């Protein structure tokens, strides 16, 4: 089974690999269990993201808020939000992911400034969650199912059809007032930037023996403030987040490199092989060696 591991820049923005060079559009239907630990690293990007749960359930975190996505639920994540998805009760699910850069809405500056830019810059518009049991949720799901079918068929110029559907969907959101612009909350925005700085520091230095003091210093906050911000946005302690990221990185190396398990453990910042193996077993239900041997299953 192919394993998917997203690529991140030093500021933990995602390097998005679009379907075709020059067309900033990404559409993929996948199972969550193809991601290491059935979880995606916390990240952000300039694209608008849509998640549609085809089957099963998924937990999604956006700026620290936890959303449970049921089967056929839809979720729109605004640009530049910290987010990630993970399994619900260690169960996989099948989902559609669409990344759609705002530039695809067209080159007319007046239309972009009137109908798109105010939404992207609205700090209060972090995400929209549409429930499958509600009429509006079924309507939104219809748009996304249409895009999924267009991608699967991949007929000539299907990208233009996808853009047309996304324009219809965006227009519908505006007409229903779901993308209304409101005054932004400066305090929350400031904490979010601090969180980005601290997570960026972890992504850059996870292989080193970094401390809570150093993580807090990277955001220019106290230890207690650091812990509060991590709890608010990621539902984890700073050191817990660090360990989880190290483990996810080790999964990628176990799958895609010839390094020994000892080399991987120390290269990911674990100073003790026994502790690494114990933590790996607790997190993934198997040893690092078993995980590597099952990579082709």
* CATH code for the structural domain at 186-293: 1.10.10.60
Domain chopping of the chain, boundaries: 7-175, 186-293
First to last CA, the chain: 6
- The answer, yes or no, to whether residue 203 has pLDDT greater than 90, is no
Q: In what order do the strands lie in the sheet with 127-130?
A: 25-31, 94-100, 48-55, 74-77, 127-130
| Distance in angstroms (rounded) separating the CA atoms of residues 290 and 272 | 19
Cα-flanking dihedrals φ and ψ of residue 104, to 5°? -75, -10
pLDDT in tens, 15-45: 567 777 778 999 999 999 888 778 888 888 8
Residue 297: both structure tokens together: 């299953």
Question: Mean pLDDT in the chain?
Answer: 87
pLDDT in tens, 40-74: 888 888 899 999 999 999 999 998 889 999 999 99
Residue of higher predicted confidence among 182 and 108: 108
| Greatest distance between any 2 Cα atoms in the chain | 60
pLDDT number for residue 184: 45
Residue of higher predicted confidence among 276 and 297: 276
pLDDT number for residue 186: 46
Which class is domain 7-175? mainly beta
């Amino acid at each position: 089974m192919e394993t998917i591991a997203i690529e991140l820049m030093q500021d933990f923005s995602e390097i998005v690999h679009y379907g075709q060079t020059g067309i900033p559009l990404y559409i993929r239907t996948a199972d969550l269990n193809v991601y290491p630990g059935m979880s995606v690293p916390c990240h952000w990007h300039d694209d608008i993201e849509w998640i549609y749960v085809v089957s099963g359930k998924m937990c999604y975190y956006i700026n620290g808020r936890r959303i449970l996505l049921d089967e056929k639920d839809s979720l729109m994540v605004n640009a530049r939000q910290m987010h990630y998805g993970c399994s619900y009760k260690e169960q996989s699910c099948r989902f559609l992911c669409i990344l759609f850069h705002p530039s695809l809405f067209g080159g007319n500056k007046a239309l972009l400034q009137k109908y798109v830019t105010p939404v992207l810059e609205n700090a209060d518009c972090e995400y929209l969650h549409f429930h499958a049991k509600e009429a509006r949720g079924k309507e939104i799901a219809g748009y996304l199912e249409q895009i999924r079918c267009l991608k699967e068929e991949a007929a000539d110029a299907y990208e233009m059809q996808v853009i047309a559907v996304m324009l219809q969907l965006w227009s519908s959101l505006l007409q229903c007032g779901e993308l209304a612009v409101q005054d932004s909350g400066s305090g929350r925005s400031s904490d979010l930037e601090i969180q980005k700085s601290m997570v960026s520091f972890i992504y850059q230095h996870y292989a080193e023996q970094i401390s809570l003091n150093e993580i807090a210093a990277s955001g220019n906050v106290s230890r207690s403030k650091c812990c509060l911000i991590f709890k608010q946005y990621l539902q984890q302690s700073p050191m817990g987040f660090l360990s989880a990221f190290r483990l996810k990185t080790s999964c990628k190396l176990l799958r895609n490199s010839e390094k020994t398990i000892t080399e991987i453990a120390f290269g990911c910042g674990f100073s003790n092989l026994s502790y690494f193996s114990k933590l790996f077993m607790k997190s993934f239900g198997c040893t690092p060696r078993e995980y590597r041997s099952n990579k082709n299953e």
